[in-house]
Chain A
Amino acid sequence: MTDIAQPTRTKKDFASDQEVRWCPGCGDYAILNALQKHMAESGADPAKTVFVSGIGCSSRFPYYMNTYGFHTIHGRAPAVATGVKVANPELDVWIVTGDGDSLSIGGNHLAHILRRNLDVNILMFNNEIYGLTKGQYSPTSPVGTKKKSTPMGSIDRPFEPAQFAVGSQATFVARTIDQDMKHMSKTLQAAAAHKGTSFIEILQNCVIFNKDFYANTVEKKVRPDRTVDLVAGEPMIYGADRDKGLRFNGFTVERCAAEEADVWRPDTPSHAPTVLIAGMRDDPEMPVPVGILRSVEAPVYETGVNAQVEDAIATKGAGDLKDLVYDGEIWTVD
């Protein structure tokens, strides 16, 4: 790796000239702000940065970044990004998506980009609702969500994004919150540093169709008791007084005193701890985990693809078109 350049650009340099058109109060503004700040602070080069998105409110994101950007079609950003990154591995590729775009129509591509471990960062804005189509339930909405398309409540069980991700062999999974700039910045930094696909779920407020759906988790007053910030190598402690802890007991996670808490290890060979920890969200008695939920090393797809081309050239020699055309048994007619 080259030396990290000293930041010479400001947040403003990463803002495009386009007017931002999300609803007033939308959580997306905070995320855009965090991203532009991260880009400036990390010394990113706008010319070498590409934002790829699908369809949905979140997917308008690339238009607001003064980098290269590709607003593609619904659910397919991971597939487009795969082509971009394989074609030019030097580009820093970010995917911006939502819960519907990534887990509903684009579920297949999300699963496959994660298992391939392309070196890109995926920002999944989760507001548990379809915003752009005006308020239908999403694949992360809780059972019983009553919206226009589900007047009697939704029936299907939601995906837990982190479990979906690790089930797809994700090498980096994190969760953060749009209202917490500091936590977002820290998480973006860790994701950017990870070599391989980084999947970041950002709990994001849709003020129009699912306003404050996460209020009882993230509001200042309740947050210390309702969330646990997982940090690698540190005990799983939470609570306003830092007196609550979590520990594993077989295949369950249970609450305990802070001093009895297990140390969080997102890099265990098995992804079982992530599955168990992420599953706490189903239990109203348990805190919602945020922070780094999984972080392991694995070979990176585009490196492997391009290495095969280089290996083939090294062993067979750089191919000449003539070798392909005039191949096999040829004969001449005079």
Chain B
Amino acid sequence: MTPPTAQDTSAGELPLQQLDRVVIRFAGDSGDGMQVTGNQFTRTSALFGNDLATLPDFPAEIRAPVGTRPGVSGFQLQFSSSDIHTPGDQPDVLVAMNPAALMVNIGTLKTGGIVIVNNDAFKSTDLKKAKCETNPLEDGSLDGFRVIEVGINSRVSEALADSPLSNKDKQRCKNFYTLGLMYWVYSRPLEPTLEWLEEKFKGKDDLIAANQTALRAGYNAGDIRELFQGQYEVPKATLQPGTYRNVMGNQALAIGLVAGARLAGLKPVYCSYPITPASSVLEFLAGYKNHGVVTIQSEDEIAAICSAIGASFAGTLGMTGTSGPGMALKGEAMGLAISTELPLVIVDVQRAGPSTGMPTKVEQSDLLSSIFGRNGDAPMPVVAISKPSDAFELSIEACRIAVQYMTPVILLSDNFIANGAEPWALPDLESLEPFPVQFTTEKTEDFQSFGRDEKLARPWVKPGTEGMEFRIGGLEKAPSSNISYDPDNHQAMTDIRHQKVRNVADSIPTPEVHGADSGDLLVLGWGSTVGILRQAVENARANGQSVSRIHLTHVWPLPHGLDEIFARFKAILIPEMNVAQMTYLLRGELPDHNYIPFNKVTGQPFLVTEVEAEIKRVLDEHAGA
């Protein structure tokens, strides 16, 4: 359990010390390749058999001015031999490629933690760019940490002396040198990265050779230079039996959309306008064309949803994806899909803040706008992904609801899930239950375009069907689909649209209570806080506190059974990365309970320790005897 700390440097033999879990944060310039470094470490650790969780943290600017604090890109991961749920509150090890990376991240490092710094990047000009008046390597800023200085620029130049690459290109291999060094420290195999480089730079032999050489040089430096007084090992985790792969949220989401369309028996048509952090969903799907996936990169957000609606009208499964600002633009068209009752999946990978906000940071602040944010009474089901490994299943769920209830569905994700990675226990594909769409092809005597089945869904007739021609639109309509301004009809249609969405609750399970099914406090979460809340609640229970946990995946309509569950707890703590939106929703829907909001909107996930402290505070103040 102990993190790596300073050891007795007089020890002769290099010991191999076992650790249960380690948190590393790689930090450098946004051009230093820190995301690649982090992803490679993640991948190798996953293949090695560790459990892991990651937190990429990068600036919105592609290349902010070199060496400045706004340009710092970070990647944090926790890897472990036991079950973990978060990327870790505080790193045990910080790798800082320059002074800016050091200064931005040193505050998060665990006391006594290791800092590996590239001291070739601490010249006076570098310090000036990072706005350091004195050199943090000399001025006592790093007292209390174990500092390991490595001249990474020089070491890379030496290692690549024979490479035909330009000096500039050689320096771009620094991240692999650093990665090699960390592989040595944590006893990781080099092969997965060596092979990855061959694939990545296929046909560019000089680049393959240089990066591989840098990786090996870094690894050997650890071995030879006795920098670390020892190596560490984090043994394989005992994951649940099964077949695993490492997956990022947006990729699992994209695969889930393909699966969802397939289970519905429909061609997926994904129309999207690039926006951080949702763009990679479009990119992944564009790579799946041999799975029958049609993608359109639309001219704007409005066009994207409108084309998806057109695709659904024509009898395929229309899908679109975006982030908050795009959701705002799509509002009117969402209303059209609601009014015409066409299936549609709308992915919202949430980011921080109103307007442009903080595009690469995490927040859960689109909850209420997803549920209510349209003109008119315009209800729509909302499903929330909580981690990369459940994105697949919940994307399928969004498709199911869309086609079974003839409704647009919002699928919420966020930047933490989208770019985070974790081992995914691969599902048994045979066990996925199909929900094939039955198009209506014949007019029965009482046929109406807006007639209803038992769920209140209307029939789906696709253009091209003989004898079934009809017109639909955003004007209020009678059940026949003809325009109607009749007051009673509008009342009836509004009521039906609401009830239909409410009926979705009949098809979703009541979420499980983790821990005792009654007690002092229930911690309720939704979305990407799941791992942090799980860890915090487990810790609190280990301390003997009467705390249980529940996590919602279906945030609208709310599942049945919550009222009964909530009644068994004295208080319900709702940590959210917004200003109490779920609390607001629950106070309206299920008003008879004591809800306590706990909110954070820094663009960074909660820390486990923050939630633990809040649990303690609440228990002391509210839920005690």
Residues of A within 8 A of B (CB): 16, 18, 46-48, 50-52, 62-63, 65-74, 76, 78-88, 90-91, 108-109, 111-112, 305-306, 308-309, 311-313, 315-319, 321-334
Q: Which one of B47, B245, B298, B315 lies within 8 Å of A88 (CB-CB)?
A: B315
CA distance A108 to B240 in the complex (A): 52
B325 at interface, CB cutoff 8 A: no
CA distance A112 to B271 in the complex (A): 14
B55 at interface, CB cutoff 8 A: no
Contacts of B361 in A (CB 8 A): none
Q: Which one of B246, B288, B471 lies within 8 Å of A62 (CB-CB)?
A: B471
Q: Which one of B238, B255, B299, B310 lies within 8 Å of A87 (CB-CB)?
A: B310
Contacts of B245 in A (CB 8 A): 326-331
B291 at interface, CB cutoff 8 A: yes
Contacts of B255 in A (CB 8 A): 324-325
Do A83 and B43 contact each other (CB < 8 Å), given the known contacts A71-B472, A313-B290? Answer: no
B307 touches A73 (CB 8 A): no
- A331 CB to closest chain B CB, in angstroms? 5
Q: Which one of A16, A83, A90 lies within 8 Å of B311 (CB-CB)?
A: A83
Do A73 and B333 contact each other (CB < 8 Å), given the known contacts A16-B471, A79-B307, A325-B429? Answer: yes
CA distance A254 to B43 in the complex (A): 71
In the complex formed, the residue of A with least CB distance to B467 is A47
Do A86 and B296 contact each other (CB < 8 Å), given the known contacts A324-B255, A332-B243? Answer: yes
In the complex formed, the residue of B with least CB distance to A301 is B296
Q: List 8 A–B pairs whose Cβ atoms lie within 8 Å, in order of A's numbering.
A: A18-B483, A47-B468, A67-B469, A70-B310, A72-B309, A82-B296, A83-B271, A324-B288
B463 touches A80 (CB 8 A): no
Q: Which one of B269, B335, B471 lies within 8 Å of A86 (CB-CB)?
A: B269
CA distance A83 to B58 in the complex (A): 35
Do A79 and B302 contact each other (CB < 8 Å), given the known contacts A88-B315, A329-B245? Answer: yes
Contacts of A331 in B (CB 8 A): 46-47, 49, 243-245
A321 touches B262 (CB 8 A): yes
B259 touches A48 (CB 8 A): no
CA distance A65 to B426 in the complex (A): 50
CA distance A306 to B333 in the complex (A): 25
B303 touches A332 (CB 8 A): no
B465 at interface, CB cutoff 8 A: yes
B310 touches A309 (CB 8 A): no
- A70 CB to closest chain B CB, in angstroms? 6
B202 at interface, CB cutoff 8 A: no
B294 at interface, CB cutoff 8 A: yes
Contacts of B262 in A (CB 8 A): 321
B292 touches A325 (CB 8 A): no
A329 touches B463 (CB 8 A): no
Do A309 and B289 contact each other (CB < 8 Å), given the known contacts A84-B311, A332-B243? Answer: yes
B107 at interface, CB cutoff 8 A: no
A47 touches B300 (CB 8 A): no
B362 at interface, CB cutoff 8 A: no
B241 at interface, CB cutoff 8 A: yes
Contacts of A332 in B (CB 8 A): 242-244
A334 touches B296 (CB 8 A): no
A330 touches B290 (CB 8 A): no
Do A109 and B290 contact each other (CB < 8 Å), given the known contacts A47-B468, A76-B333, A83-B269? Answer: no
A91 touches B306 (CB 8 A): no
Q: Which one of A68, A91, A306, A333 lies within 8 Å of B471 (CB-CB)?
A: A68
Main secondary structure of the interface of B (DSSP, over half): mixed
Contacts of B303 in A (CB 8 A): 76, 78-79, 82, 108-109, 112
B64 at interface, CB cutoff 8 A: no
Q: Which of B421-453 contact A (CB under 8 A)?
A: 426-427, 429
- A50 CB to closest chain B CB, in angstroms? 5
Do A83 and B429 contact each other (CB < 8 Å), given the known contacts A321-B258, A333-B244? Answer: no
- A241 CB to closest chain B CB, in angstroms? 47
Interface range for B: 35 or more
Instruction: For the complex of A and B, list the 10 residue pairs with the smallest distance between their C-beta atoms, beginning with the closest.
Output: A83-B310, A71-B473, A319-B291, A79-B306, A83-B307, A69-B471, A312-B289, A87-B314, A79-B303, A83-B311
B470 at interface, CB cutoff 8 A: yes
A306 touches B307 (CB 8 A): no
Q: Which one of B271, B292, B294, B482 lies within 8 Å of A319 (CB-CB)?
A: B292
Contacts of B309 in A (CB 8 A): 72, 80, 83
In the complex formed, the residue of A with least CB distance to B239 is A333
B464 at interface, CB cutoff 8 A: yes
Q: Which of A46, A62, A109, A322 counts the most B-chain CB atoms under 10 A from its CB?
A: A109
Contacts of A81 in B (CB 8 A): 310
Do A18 and B482 contact each other (CB < 8 Å), given the known contacts A52-B310, A87-B315, A305-B294? Answer: yes
Q: Which of A47, A82, A109 counts the most B-chain CB atoms under 10 A from its CB?
A: A82
- A172 CB to closest chain B CB, in angstroms? 20
In the complex formed, the residue of A with least CB distance to B258 is A324
B357 at interface, CB cutoff 8 A: no
Contacts of B464 in A (CB 8 A): 47-48, 68, 88, 90-91
In the complex formed, the residue of B with least CB distance to A80 is B310
Contacts of B473 in A (CB 8 A): 62-63, 69-72
B243 touches A84 (CB 8 A): no
A71 touches B314 (CB 8 A): no
CA distance A322 to B291 in the complex (A): 11
CA distance A90 to B293 in the complex (A): 18
Contacts of A83 in B (CB 8 A): 269, 271, 296, 306-314, 318
Q: Which one of B47, B298, B469 lies within 8 Å of A79 (CB-CB)?
A: B298
B614 at interface, CB cutoff 8 A: no
CA distance A63 to B482 in the complex (A): 8
B466 at interface, CB cutoff 8 A: yes
In the complex formed, the residue of B with least CB distance to A64 is B471
Contacts of B164 in A (CB 8 A): none
B392 at interface, CB cutoff 8 A: yes
In the complex formed, the residue of B with least CB distance to A78 is B303
Contacts of A321 in B (CB 8 A): 258-259, 262, 291, 429
A333 touches B336 (CB 8 A): no
B302 touches A76 (CB 8 A): yes
In the complex formed, the residue of A with least CB distance to B238 is A333
Q: Which one of A71, A326, A334 lies within 8 Å of B426 (CB-CB)?
A: A326
- A68 CB to closest chain B CB, in angstroms? 4
Contacts of B288 in A (CB 8 A): 319, 324
CA distance A315 to B290 in the complex (A): 8
B474 at interface, CB cutoff 8 A: yes
- A311 CB to closest chain B CB, in angstroms? 8
B14 at interface, CB cutoff 8 A: no
B316 at interface, CB cutoff 8 A: yes
- A141 CB to closest chain B CB, in angstroms? 25
CA distance A47 to B463 in the complex (A): 6
Q: Which one of B271, B308, B463 lies within 8 Å of A50 (CB-CB)?
A: B463
Contacts of B316 in A (CB 8 A): 87-88
In the complex formed, the residue of A with least CB distance to B240 is A333
In the complex formed, the residue of B with least CB distance to A314 is B290
Contacts of A73 in B (CB 8 A): 306, 332-333, 335-336, 474
In the complex formed, the residue of B with least CB distance to A309 is B289
CA distance A74 to B306 in the complex (A): 11
In the complex formed, the residue of B with least CB distance to A332 is B243
Contacts of B293 in A (CB 8 A): 309
Contacts of B340 in A (CB 8 A): 70
A68 touches B292 (CB 8 A): no
Do A68 and B429 contact each other (CB < 8 Å), given the known contacts A83-B313, A329-B245, A330-B245? Answer: no
A326 touches B290 (CB 8 A): no
CA distance A323 to B262 in the complex (A): 14
In the complex formed, the residue of A with least CB distance to B462 is A88
Contacts of B298 in A (CB 8 A): 79, 82, 112
In the complex formed, the residue of A with least CB distance to B236 is A333
B307 touches A86 (CB 8 A): yes
B296 touches A68 (CB 8 A): no
Contacts of B336 in A (CB 8 A): 72-73
B192 at interface, CB cutoff 8 A: yes
Contacts of B483 in A (CB 8 A): 18, 63
CA distance A80 to B307 in the complex (A): 4
Contacts of A71 in B (CB 8 A): 471-475
